[in-house]
Amino acid sequence: MSPVQFAAIGHRGRELSIEYTWIDAEAPDAPLLVFLHEGLGSVAMWRDFPAQLCAASGCRGLVYSRPGYGRSTPRRADERWPPDFLERQAREVLPAFLDTVGIDPRTQPVILFGHSDGGSIALIAAGEPASAWAGVIVMAPHLFAEDVSLISIRAIRDSYRSSDLRGRLARFHDDPDSAFYGWNDVWLDADFATFSLEAAVSRIRCPVLAIQGVDDEYGTMAQIDAIAARVADCSLLKLAACGHSPQRDQPEAVITAVVRWLQAPKSV
């Protein structure tokens, strides 16, 4: 990866600093994978997985931390993210960031690679009417809230308050409370219980690869099965002995599947 850089974007009356890094930026003609992290993720929390995937696939990579995470602008202490926070990231922050760093999906092949909340953001972006993504890869995405998701999110809130989890997250986030409570509070908001991306996913016209671990503690196979039921060109990978983070539990299987999918003819 290249050294971390920062991009300034305007969003709803604020100027935000976005942490990001490139992988193999010197190959401008290669397809670009844009990595969208999980609900507690950041540039650093991806570790070396994006570089490994780009090396195996011949793609370039762009990895960034959303506002509130990593070294990007933290969430204000009095700021509570609204139930449509995923939509705002997909429709407002992501396009503004890509425009700032000079990426236009209409003129170059760009593939969104999202994990968990990042996968949801990727799906929303792909469902936009004027979207021009070359494809979408999602791992453990959320299309709707399941009981298993909410049980696990309540449990990790208790762990954050009673264990060393806050200290461990502080290695990856300048403000771990910003990252944790921004994500945790909105997921446990009563108004978020009815959230659904099924309509947005039904509008996706680009190819999709959806990956889920059999032992995912934050969601079931119903999530990616719902994508397959709505997207014409959708491939599924269901991984045994794998939890919520396939890139950590089964990295070789994920990389092999992504490379195969990238090389396969697409039907749409």
Q: What is the pLDDT of residue 2?
A: 81
Q: What mean pLDDT is predicted for residues 96-124?
A: 97
Tens of pLDDT, residues 3-23 = 999 999 999 889 999 999 999
Banded pLDDT at 29 (limits 50, 70, 90): confident
154, part of any domain = yes
Question: How many structural domains comprise the chain?
Answer: 1
Q: What mean pLDDT is predicted for residues 92-97?
A: 97
Q: What is the pLDDT of residue 267?
A: 57
35, part of any domain = yes
Q: What mean pLDDT is predicted for residues 75-96?
A: 95
Tens of pLDDT, residues 101-111 = 999 999 999 99
232, part of any domain = yes
More confident residue, 43 or 11: 43
Quick check: 27 pLDDT over 80? no
Tens of pLDDT, residues 53-70 = 999 999 999 999 999 999
Mean pLDDT of the chain: 95
Domain that holds residue 56: 5-263
Tens of pLDDT, residues 171-213 = 999 999 999 999 999 999 999 989 999 999 999 999 999 999 9
Q: What is the CATH number of the domain that holds 94?
A: 3.40.50.1820
Q: Which residues of 108-119 are buried (b: 16+ CB within 10 A; e: fewer)?
A: bbbbbbbbbbbb
186, part of any domain = yes
192, part of any domain = yes
Banded pLDDT at 25 (limits 50, 70, 90): low
Q: What is the pLDDT of residue 44?
A: 97
268, part of any domain = no
150, part of any domain = yes
- In three-state secondary structure terms, 222 is helix
Alpha carbon distance 111, 30 (integer Å):
11
Q: What is the pLDDT of residue 1?
A: 74
128, part of any domain = yes
Q: What is the pLDDT of residue 268?
A: 47
Check residue 3 and report its DSSP letter: P
Alpha carbon distance 228, 235 (integer Å):
7
Alpha carbon distance 200, 128 (integer Å):
7
- Other beta carbons within 10 angstroms of residue 157's beta carbon come to 17
Residues forming a β-bridge with 34: 62, 112
